Structure 1
């Protein structure tokens, strides 16, 4: 499969072009230069054929730490490419940095496509003539912001080489999406790099290094995974208007499209108010969850480590009661400890979330629990559960919460402590590891008897008593 890598200096419209070729807004775009830092990879169809498209950060050739790291990551992506898309700003013309980037691309010996971006109007077409001086042929004129020339670009890129079949040779199981979330500087990008075994993402000591949600494919024990590294979710009062609000929105969108959420915590600094807020988002959106306690190596020595692990896991559950159902995995991204355990636990949570729980089994369970410990009475009345219904979608690819609707005599008789008791018993009975339970209590109309474990059967039309003509209307 051909891999097209977009490269160029900052603020020439690489991410906007990336989104146009993808057909949707994947890369974060902003007027501020240098927003894209980590390479973004996605599968696309160009000219009716499948390909990989990679967006990279702006190349600067600067010796400063973060800018040099962004350039190094961009050049590492070029090594994996089959085709290079050199994006230039047609309105500003060739700059010394553009020429230096072109010299580097020429040494790679790969096809280079010069794309003259920001040609918003045909009156700007003559300005692109200067770009031919790079020696890569005639530039392709586009305006990514206005969708001008994008269709021709798609057809041109895939029309030169037709060795790629129009479809994949075999159907593949969709990759399971694991989204890593957390506040800034807890080590999410370091953890992704450790799982990949290579420095794919930018890592820096200052918080806020990652701006976008980065999708990275990983095959682990013959399972296809998609790791989603997200920007750190800072408290709202610390977010600047514009860019940081957009990065927070991208992180929450990544959570919504994930199959399993991995909440990364800093075990050395403890749990903060922002950690609790992120836990609330995970529970409210309803994604199966695993808690990763990073920086485990900074705690006490190996003596009594299992006892320390158990105590810390209990402390995490007390501090994050909304995610008390989530398994806790202590690890060190820097030392590479317990990484396989994190993936094993995440896939086990995902597998259990796909298992179906029948309505009959649920009703037998509630019948048994009510006999053993009836709900508490209030004002001489007692809650009665007549019928339980599993409203979770029956889809193996789903990643939602376990939605439970209970039909009762009076929802106002529900007591929080009894609901917590029921949830604890449900988790002992059914495979719900790391999966949130969302409750819905509804009054059962026309029910005057206790729980029977069966849905009331409708009366057959032939057995309905016909109204007599003598009866009043």
Structure 2
């Protein structure tokens, strides 16, 4: 047996860690330019350590892990590399061929992952040994015809080698003894995966700018996964009436309006991150991370219920993150005339501060008006990238301040001497002033900026640089 090598980018840092991570990133970038990456699916029954193994391979805590079965539910894709070869890694929920209810839908996602994979890593708990559920999964894997690499997990030392060897009777070839928790044997496992991968394609693909990145966010059970499935035209994410079904962010490349978009279905945000615990806490962190990677966020609101404090907090989170914003009011097919009137009043009263965000009334269940999301996203992204020339901007502020000067406070009246747009995505403006501008006056300036230049669907940041008095 070959000597153990630590997995690429294991969580424990060492002096060569940064170099290996940089090499892996360069490998993934180069491979992406060559075309689609091969797919490796990690499958197994619940709580055998699949997500822990995924984190070990990735070298970071990307997948939510908790010591209870059923935390991972959807199939979640990550890009990584090993020994100079890049591939897409699919983490899946626990596979139980005899499951019912939501567990059956989780199993369906695992089966779909196998169908799309080039190689399958089948994870078995070597301490427990092969169970009837494992045997059932093996039969499905054999029918798939896909190459399978058997990972005998939880072999933390030499004493566990015998338990791993007992898994030869599954008929899938050599069991690779690994410890996903500690990294033992993970290098040999990945070597076996690379040996099973198909040869890399030789042709190159000329690609223009990549697909725009969209985050689906909202509180639990508002229909985010249902909307993703409707847009993808397949059961891409597990949907269940129980709130909190989605835990890990689910990426999907979807064609809308003759263009590709990267959609990310995120976990429902129940409360402030600091008040969450367990899997909910880590799911909230990953939702925030998905929002940071996105360009535009679709905040899904349950139109059949009154706007909640959590809805407002999520919208504020998107604005604070500086992302383009689209408000989608779901379950519109359930509204009667009275509820629609009440909703309009709630929007006017509680969402006045984001009146600039495009609004779409949809039904994720029936597909009603979901096609209008493309126009709304384009509008928001255009506003997000808008830049105003400096000369035009200063002429505008000159006219506005002349017509509506800042109120005199304490015998002094601050003036705007110069203005510039420092950045886009989102638009950021810097105002050089002779004194502090009150918040109400800054809101007035923002409103006039929107009236003059648009900026639909994007937050605007106004900052001041106050001229200091020269000491005599």
TM over 0.5: yes
Larger deviation: 334-343 or 39-48?
A: 39-48
Of 288, 293, 302, which aligns to 1:266? 302
SS at match of 1:377: coil
Determine the C-alpha separation between the residues in 1 that align with 2:345 and 2:355.
Answer: 9
Residues 403-450 of structure 1: CA deviation (Å, up to 9, x unaligned): 222111111xx23332222111111222411111122122123699xx
> Contact 1:173/1:224 (CA < 8 Å) preserved in 2?
no
SS at match of 2:105: helix
Matched with 1:459 is none
SS at match of 1:381: coil
> Contact 2:147/2:196 (CA < 8 Å) preserved in 1?
no
> Contact 1:279/1:320 (CA < 8 Å) preserved in 2?
no
Matched with 2:458 is 435
Determine the C-alpha separation between the residues in 2 that align with 1:70 and 1:160.
Answer: 26
Matched with 1:89 is 125
Determine the C-alpha separation between the residues in 1 that align with 2:375 and 2:113.
Answer: 29
Of 402, 415, 419, which aligns to 1:388? 419
> Contact 1:50/1:166 (CA < 8 Å) preserved in 2?
no
SS at match of 1:86: strand
Aligned residues: 435
> Contact 2:217/2:300 (CA < 8 Å) preserved in 1?
yes
> Contact 1:386/1:444 (CA < 8 Å) preserved in 2?
no
> Contact 1:180/1:229 (CA < 8 Å) preserved in 2?
yes
Closer/same/farther in 2, CA of residues 168 and 54 from structure 1, 3 Å limit: farther
SS at match of 1:194: helix
Residues 12-32 of structure 1: CA deviation (Å, up to 9, x unaligned): 111111222233332111112
The Cα shift of 1:292 comes to 0.5
The Cα shift of 1:80 comes to 1.7
Matched with 2:142 is 106
SS at match of 1:247: helix
Closer/same/farther in 2, CA of residues 192 and 240 from structure 1, 3 Å limit: same
SS at match of 1:380: coil
Residues 149-160 of structure 1 mapped to structure 2, 5 A cutoff: 149-160=185-196
Of 435, 443, 449, which aligns to 1:426? 449
Determine the C-alpha separation between the residues in 2 that align with 1:144 and 1:167.
Answer: 35
The Cα shift of 1:334 comes to 0.9
Residues 209-247 of structure 1: CA deviation (Å, up to 9, x unaligned): 111221222233443321111111113599663222222
Closer/same/farther in 2, CA of residues 167 and 281 from structure 1, 3 Å limit: farther
Matched with 2:427 is 402
Q: Structure 2 unaligned runs (5+)?
A: 1-36
The Cα shift of 1:187 comes to 0.8
The Cα shift of 1:156 comes to 2.3
Residues 13-28 of structure 1 mapped to structure 2, 5 A cutoff: 13-28=49-64
TM-score scaled by length of structure 1: 0.85
1:347 paired with 2:378, answer: yes
Closer/same/farther in 2, CA of residues 441 and 314 from structure 1, 3 Å limit: farther
Closer/same/farther in 2, CA of residues 335 and 228 from structure 1, 3 Å limit: same
Matched with 2:94 is 58
Residues 30-57 of structure 1: CA deviation (Å, up to 9, x unaligned): 1121100011023332432232221110
Matched with 2:399 is 368
SS at match of 1:289: strand
Of 348, 356, 366, which aligns to 1:335? 366
Closer/same/farther in 2, CA of residues 12 and 167 from structure 1, 3 Å limit: farther
1:318 paired with 2:349, answer: yes
> Contact 2:51/2:91 (CA < 8 Å) preserved in 1?
yes
Residues 145-190 of structure 1: CA deviation (Å, up to 9, x unaligned): 2122223322321234552148954345333211111111111111
> Contact 1:407/1:443 (CA < 8 Å) preserved in 2?
yes
SS at match of 2:371: helix
1:208 paired with 2:233, answer: no
Determine the C-alpha separation between the residues in 2 that align with 1:248 and 1:322.
Answer: 25
Larger deviation: 327-336 or 206-215?
A: 206-215
SS at match of 1:4: strand
SS at match of 1:378: coil
Moved over 6 A (4+): none
RMSD: 2.6
SS at match of 1:205: coil
Determine the C-alpha separation between the residues in 1 that align with 2:367 and 2:360.
Answer: 13
Closer/same/farther in 2, CA of residues 170 and 148 from structure 1, 3 Å limit: farther
> Contact 1:49/1:167 (CA < 8 Å) preserved in 2?
no
Determine the C-alpha separation between the residues in 1 that align with 2:217 and 2:447.
Answer: 26
> Contact 1:49/1:165 (CA < 8 Å) preserved in 2?
no
> Contact 2:253/2:262 (CA < 8 Å) preserved in 1?
yes
Determine the C-alpha separation between the residues in 2 that align with 1:323 and 1:227.
Answer: 23
> Contact 2:38/2:197 (CA < 8 Å) preserved in 1?
no
Larger deviation: 228-237 or 248-257?
A: 228-237
Determine the C-alpha separation between the residues in 1 that align with 2:203 and 2:50.
Answer: 27
